[in-house]
Amino acid sequence: MSSIRVVFQPAGKTVEAQSGQKLLDVAVCAGMDIANFCGGQGVCLKCRTRILSGRVSFSSRYIALVTKKDFEAGYVLACKAETLDEDVEVWIPPESRKEEEQILTVDHIIQYGEPAPLERGPESANIPYFHPLCQKYYLELPKPTLEDNLSDLDRIFRELRKKAPDLPLNVHFSAVWGLATLLRKNDWKLTATLHLRDTECPHIRVFEGGNTSGKNFGIAIDVGTTTIVTQLIDLRTGAILAVEASHNRQSRYGEDVISRMIFACGHGGLAPLTEAVVNTINSLIDSMLAETGVHQDDITCLVAAGNTTMTHLLLGLEPCTIRVEPYIPVANRFPQFQTVELGIQAHPKALLHCMPCVSSYVGGDITAGVLACGMNDQPQISALIDVGTNGEIVVGNSEWLVCCSSSAGPAFEGGGIKCGMRAVRGAIEKIWMDGDRVFYRTIGEAIPRGICGSALIDAVAELASEGIIDQSAKFIKFDHPWVQVVGEVPEFVVVPGSDTENGEPVVLTEDDIANFIKSKAAILAAMKVLLENTGISFMDLEHLYVAGGFGAHLDIEKAVFVGLLPDIPRERIQFVGNSSLAGARLGLLSSHAFHKAEAIARRMTYFELSVHTRFMEEFVAALFLPHTQVDLFPSFTENLARRRKGA
């Protein structure tokens, strides 16, 4: 197999490759991220690239996936085009490039009254029961004598009990190695590092010479499918010292959990995915340490929250049985892992704890979200909803919790939409209309490149309000100046080609709207079924918490108008930011909170919607704007009448 050169433009990046390699794999080796929602299955069509010079092999079975015009211009799908025995130059168009995404690093821990902390530092006022999973104790030991001839370890235990009389003490065997020399070289002064996840059996894992108690740091991690967010925490005070976020490098193997499971359980294997997420976390840790001057060896504890698949991939556990009936994960609750075994940069004896999951499709990120919202501690009935490719929903209060997961599809994240894209620079994030005039706002105030999820909701709401589409989401106003029909498919021109980055118009087609309707219907139907099974209605919800980055950019009125969120008093709807990160931080700073998260996961009753007969009925009923039962959305009729009267 001969070696060739592949040049990627406009970056000008050159890499050596072997003939027969897929362009997408070559791009990964070159560190070039090409959009790839489907994990190389050839169905998302987001890896569209243009061959500027040279030739590639592109099977006739895939030619139909690109338009005739594009194929004649040299466009192929990078996931299906293979190199030949000649050099090739490839152009990655703007819409196929991955750029930095708008990542939500803000979180909220909702307080319902004064907590009763066991111990509190000056910065820990918002952390109930402040009692970090890892604590350091500085000890000055009396030197042994003939009269006081306790062993070195018993001498340490005696001093520790003076500071922590209620803790049963245990020691990891490796901490005892070299202890005699350590004590005598440091004049019997040392620091003991205790890990307290198991309060019935706390373990000393490290002894250090001298006083290092002022250097005890932890990291909270939100391991998202798309993005990863980390916080560096001072475990003495609870203060957040640094926050970093990045795109999850696993995305080069597929944008969603299903495509990554296919990769891990197929020819690609598990190792590249675990390595990718660990490398992403390590790069974020490096950035936080460089910013704060904290040393890697002073990181003693980490808590991660992610969905069930992401947690499995982080820990190197096989995810293969998650995606096939009866959908069984390796584990829902995980033992503590030594970070050195995973390759995470921290103290060699630091421990990683993962938030417990509930089922294959309700993970630790949702458990963390419930913990951060505090809905499990309140008598009022609340709901937590995290909208994404999978829509996870939890309903309940201090007495009961039920949950489910609904496959909403990739529409909210730009997948399955002709001009859809993630929330990166140039994505249209806001749309509003006034008659024939269309207004929009892009991320970074950049030249428009496509539409992200929040603008998709805006656009559908505006088209319905203006009478351009009807309540079945079909175009009816064909005389509107921005409505056109291409290949017998009606579409609305949001931005003409003259104003976009690539010269092609940004449009929303009738098929795009149909995909969106299915996505929003799946979310609403899941929530309605979950509520019906507990004998309550939308109006019984005292709080509706909307989590995640998508929710932070959501227009509540428009989300209700299209039937994504229920029509309840708006003051009951609250965005809670990155609740996964907030819950991970709570678990890091409070062993009580971590145990509460474990109790939450055990208490949640999971509904498997795929075998629930009512779900399909509700799904079909929700394939309408806002719903076939319009009386569920009284504000829809009012807003529509008000809008058209004003026109």
Give the pLDDT confidence of 264-313 residue by residue, as tens digits: 998 789 999 999 999 999 999 999 999 999 999 999 999 999 999 999 99
Q: Which residue has the higher pLDDT, 20 or 605?
A: 605
- Judged against a pLDDT cut of 60, whether residue 432 lies above it is answered with yes
Q: Which residue has the higher pLDDT, 622 or 11?
A: 622
What residue numbers bound the domain in which 38 lies? Answer: 3-96
Question: Burial letters for 240-271: b for 16+ Cβ neighbours within 10 Å, e otherwise?
Answer: ebbbbbbbbbbbbbbbbbbbbbbbbbeebebe
- Judged against a pLDDT cut of 90, whether residue 210 lies above it is answered with yes
The amino acid sitting at 273 is L
The verdict on 281 and 381 lying in the same domain is no
Mean pLDDT of 598-614: 91
Reported as type and span, the H/E element at residue 260 is helix 257-264
- Judged against a pLDDT cut of 50, whether residue 146 lies above it is answered with yes
Outline where DSSP puts E strands in 273-361.
299-306, 337-338, 351-354
The verdict on 349 and 386 lying in the same domain is no
Question: What is the percent of the chain where pLDDT is above 70?
Answer: 91
Does 291 map to a domain?
Answer: yes
The verdict on 437 and 381 lying in the same domain is no
Confidence band of 62 (pLDDT split at 50, 70, 90)? low
Which parts of 377-495 fold into alpha helices (H)?
Answer: 453-465
> According to the per-residue pLDDT averaged within each range, which of 283-297, 407-421, 625-639 is highest?
283-297
* pLDDT tens digits for range 316-375: 999 999 999 889 999 999 999 999 999 999 999 999 999 999 999 999 999 999 999 999
The mean of the pLDDT values for the chain is 88
Domain C-terminal end among 183, 209, 235: 209
Inter-residue contact 226 to 247 (CB < 8 Å) = yes
Please tell me the predicted confidence (pLDDT) of residue 74: 80
**CATH number reported for the structural domain that contains residue 153 in this entry:** 3.10.20.880
Does 541 map to a domain?
Answer: yes
Contacts for 341-345 with beta carbons within 8 Å, 24 or more apart?
342/274, 342/278, 342/314, 342/315, 342/316, 343/275, 343/278, 343/282, 344/278, 344/281, 344/282, 344/285, 344/302, 345/282, 345/285, 345/286, 345/296, 345/299
Does 630 map to a domain?
Answer: yes
The verdict on 639 and 532 lying in the same domain is yes
Does 557 map to a domain?
Answer: no
**3-class secondary-structure state, position 486:** strand
Please tell me the predicted confidence (pLDDT) of residue 124: 36
The verdict on 188 and 242 lying in the same domain is no
Q: Are strands 48-53 and 82-83 parallel, antiparallel or unpaired?
A: unpaired
The verdict on 639 and 510 lying in the same domain is no
For helices 257-264 and 271-292, angle between their N-to-C axes, nearest 10 degrees:
120
- Judged against a pLDDT cut of 60, whether residue 122 lies above it is answered with no
Inter-residue contact 18 to 3 (CB < 8 Å) = yes
Dihedral angle at the C-alpha atoms of 116, 121, 122, 126, nearest 10 degrees?
Answer: -40
Please tell me the predicted confidence (pLDDT) of residue 116: 30
- Judged against a pLDDT cut of 70, whether residue 1 lies above it is answered with no
The verdict on 579 and 630 lying in the same domain is yes
Q: Which residue has the higher pLDDT, 355 or 118?
A: 355
The verdict on 67 and 140 lying in the same domain is no
Please tell me the least confidently modeled range out of 119-123, 175-179, 554-558: 119-123
* pLDDT tens digits for range 433-465: 988 999 999 988 999 999 998 899 999 999 999
Please tell me the least confidently modeled range out of 70-74, 157-161, 271-275, 487-491: 70-74
The verdict on 399 and 540 lying in the same domain is yes
* pLDDT tens digits for range 88-112: 888 888 767 765 555 555 555 544 3
Domain C-terminal end among 328, 354, 380: 354
pTM of full prediction above 0.85: no
Please tell me the least confidently modeled range out of 187-191, 343-347, 428-432, 552-556: 552-556
Q: Which residue has the higher pLDDT, 509 or 40?
A: 509
Mean pLDDT of 109-133: 47
Total domain count for the chain? 5
